[in-house]
A and B are shown apart, each in its own frame.
Chain A
């Protein structure tokens, strides 16, 4: 009995720790939301979480953006950058992963080793030469650099992730398709893709997220304000005013993280499955 009681107390303490730490984790985001309703005077030197009044003024004013470019434009720009990049990444990574996972071609071992080593190749070392390549191609200040990198499978993380998923699909499926007279491409599209769909969706989600959050590559390849993404606009808003009205910035920050949060709540399973499988067998 005492032992059972001790165990119960132990459980309760664990729960309290988990909930307290959980609260600390989520607190900044909650605070950010409520800060969208607070004047600068209210933000400065105050610990109260709730604002004195709720008015959506900051969302309306913040949305006006900078220099005649509203957040309508910045969100549209982000979509124009992120959606094609995501789509191209998924298509190219799937094709390449298929090549690696299902064929015994010459040079497979060194090719796979190269793929793995590019996984650890820091972006920092490639960014200057890539900048000059894209400059000589005349595609700077557009989203083309992102599209090209995606179309040519330069995100080895996703290729590697999809190879792992392919390996989980029994080869007998391919073989029976060949016997039925399917070529390799039809085998991929009709037999393997339906099984692979959740994995491709996971890869797409992560690429969506990373491209949407990306800032470093965006400020290098894009420079005119009318092509700015949401991230770039946020940073510009914060720096362009002499007295920053924080609630406008906080309101736009809330809207900026909203797509990520919504996507996460609707597709949680894919996030968790995707990330779990990548690491396993690594």
Chain B
């Protein structure tokens, strides 16, 4: 009997086999290799030569693009992630009231998020926001005048960010599902105690759905740190490198100029940012993320 049980559980390794191979060959090995490459002058045409931390030194001291890339990336994350989360939360709260016609509205809010990093919507943004585009025609009509969205370093990044924020629907759907799980007895109790709506939002709703908010913030931060498509298609990193995000720099250095060792160093900076953001978020999580009902 005992023997049977052991062999039963060992069956797991057969089911896990594809994952184990994939993990070792296509995730762990590339991960380690990427760090090694970042310490070399690797390009696809020659064998990599070990050069120590020279790539990193160059990034942080000589590469004038890098500072701008770093600033653009961090700004992009700090603008898009909070905006997306707040939008999703507000709309989810409004849709959660069981109003009529919610289904259609939910569909409309959700739809843009399905286009993700799609080229089609990036092209659309470019056409809408170009100097002679529809948005500027409207701004002229109401007397504001033309704004060169992609020609001005101070407006280019916010315009790209607006494309990202437009796609807040997926976290909204998650929040909607989470809001449905909050036991209504909690609200009833709060009402009996005479708590105001605002009070019960902050002391019941937010704590109850905080694990989902936390999950969304982490996933969106990791994604936003790697943003590539919109910068590549719409602005090519310009003007004056104001939208030259690290994802784009990585692609240009590695696959356009074939400096793959150098680009690997950039990828480790992206990874470093992912780690910093995640650690900070996890560090703060014990103050605001509430894991009440573990199952």
Residues of chain A whose beta carbon lies under 8 Å from any beta carbon of chain B = 11, 14-15, 17-19, 21-22, 25-26, 28-29, 31-32, 35, 43-47, 92, 95-96, 98-100, 102-105, 108, 111, 114-115, 118, 120-133, 135, 148-149, 151-154, 159, 184, 209-210, 213-216, 219-220, 231-232, 234-235, 238, 246, 249-250, 253-254, 256-257, 260-261, 264-265, 268, 271-272, 275-282
Question: For A260, what are the chain B residues with a Cβ–Cβ distance below 8 Å?
Answer: 114-115, 118
Question: For B157, what are the chain A residues with a Cβ–Cβ distance below 8 Å?
Answer: none
Residues of chain B whose beta carbon lies under 8 Å from any beta carbon of chain A = 8-16, 18-19, 21-23, 25-27, 29-31, 33-34, 37, 44, 91, 94-95, 97, 99, 105, 107-112, 114-121, 123-128, 132-134, 136-138, 140-141, 166, 170, 173-174, 176-178, 181, 211-212, 215-216, 218, 222, 225-226, 228-229, 232-233, 246-247, 250-251, 254-255, 260, 263-264, 267-268, 270-271, 274, 278, 295
List the 10 shortest-distance A-B pairs measured between CB atoms, nearest first.
Answer: A152-B22, A276-B177, A99-B15, A103-B12, A129-B30, A253-B120, A44-B132, A105-B12, A279-B174, A129-B33
Question: For A11, what are the chain B residues with a Cβ–Cβ distance below 8 Å?
Answer: 99
A99 to B11, CA, bound (A): 8
* Given A105-B9, A260-B114: A47 in contact with B134 (beta carbons within 8 A): yes
A118 to B19, CA, bound (A): 12
15 more contacts with CB within 8 A, not counting A44-B133, A121-B27, A265-B107, are A22-B105, A28-B112, A31-B134, A103-B15, A105-B12, A124-B226, A124-B271, A130-B26, A133-B25, A210-B116, A213-B118, A215-B119, A238-B123, A249-B127, A282-B215
Q: Smallest Cβ distance from B214 to chain A, in angstroms?
A: 8
> Is B105's CB under 8 angstroms from A19's CB?
yes
Question: For A26, what are the chain B residues with a Cβ–Cβ distance below 8 Å?
Answer: 108, 111
Q: Per DSSP, are chain A's interface residues mostly helix, strand or loop, or mixed?
A: helix
A28 to B125, CA, bound (A): 8
Residue in B closest to A246 when the chains form the complex, CB atoms: B127
> Is B264's CB under 8 angstroms from A128's CB?
yes
A101 to B167, CA, bound (A): 33
> Is B268's CB under 8 angstroms from A125's CB?
yes
* Given A47-B141, A122-B274: A264 in contact with B9 (beta carbons within 8 A): no
* Given A96-B19, A105-B13, A276-B174: A123 in contact with B226 (beta carbons within 8 A): yes
A96 to B126, CA, bound (A): 42
Which of A103, A118, A232 has a CB less than 8 Å from the CB of B27?
A: A118
Q: Smallest Cβ distance from B205 to chain A, in angstroms?
A: 16
Question: For B126, what are the chain A residues with a Cβ–Cβ distance below 8 Å?
Answer: 238
Q: Smallest Cβ distance from B268 to chain A, in angstroms?
A: 7
A220 to B205, CA, bound (A): 44
> Is B30's CB under 8 angstroms from A280's CB?
no
Question: For B174, what are the chain A residues with a Cβ–Cβ distance below 8 Å?
Answer: 275-276, 278-280
Q: Per DSSP, are chain B's interface residues mostly helix, strand or loop, or mixed?
A: helix
A18 to B107, CA, bound (A): 12
A44 to B270, CA, bound (A): 39
* Given A19-B105, A210-B116, A250-B124: A122 in contact with B271 (beta carbons within 8 A): yes
* Given A29-B111, A95-B15, A154-B27: A128 in contact with B120 (beta carbons within 8 A): no
8 A-B pairs whose Cβ atoms sit less than 8 Å apart in the complex: A18-B91, A105-B13, A126-B26, A215-B118, A215-B233, A235-B123, A276-B174, A281-B295
Residue in A closest to B29 when the chains form the complex, CB atoms: A129
> Is B118's CB under 8 angstroms from A257's CB?
yes
Which of B33, B123, B133, B136 has a CB less than 8 Å from the CB of A234?
A: B123
Q: Smallest Cβ distance from A97 to chain B, in angstroms?
A: 9
Question: For B105, what are the chain A residues with a Cβ–Cβ distance below 8 Å?
Answer: 18-19, 22
Residue in A closest to B11 when the chains form the complex, CB atoms: A184
Which of B16, B22, B34, B229 has a CB less than 8 Å from the CB of A215?
A: B229
Which of A17, A254, A261 has a CB less than 8 Å from the CB of B94?
A: A17
> Is B15's CB under 8 angstroms from A98's CB?
yes
Question: For A272, what are the chain B residues with a Cβ–Cβ distance below 8 Å?
Answer: 110, 173, 177
> Is B112's CB under 8 angstroms from A103's CB?
no
* Given A28-B124, A276-B174: A122 in contact with B225 (beta carbons within 8 A): yes
Q: Smallest Cβ distance from B266 to chain A, in angstroms?
A: 8
* Given A122-B274, A152-B21: A257 in contact with B120 (beta carbons within 8 A): yes
Q: Smallest Cβ distance from B293 to chain A, in angstroms?
A: 10
> Is B118's CB under 8 angstroms from A231's CB?
yes
Residue in B closest to A252 when the chains form the complex, CB atoms: B120
Q: Smallest Cβ distance from B144 to chain A, in angstroms?
A: 13
Q: Smallest Cβ distance from A225 to chain B, in angstroms?
A: 15
* Given A47-B141, A124-B247, A253-B123: A149 in contact with B181 (beta carbons within 8 A): no
Question: For A276, what are the chain B residues with a Cβ–Cβ distance below 8 Å?
Answer: 173-174, 176-178
> Is B118's CB under 8 angstroms from A47's CB?
no
> Is A96's CB under 8 angstroms from B268's CB?
no
Residue in A closest to B223 when the chains form the complex, CB atoms: A122
> Is B18's CB under 8 angstroms from A124's CB?
no
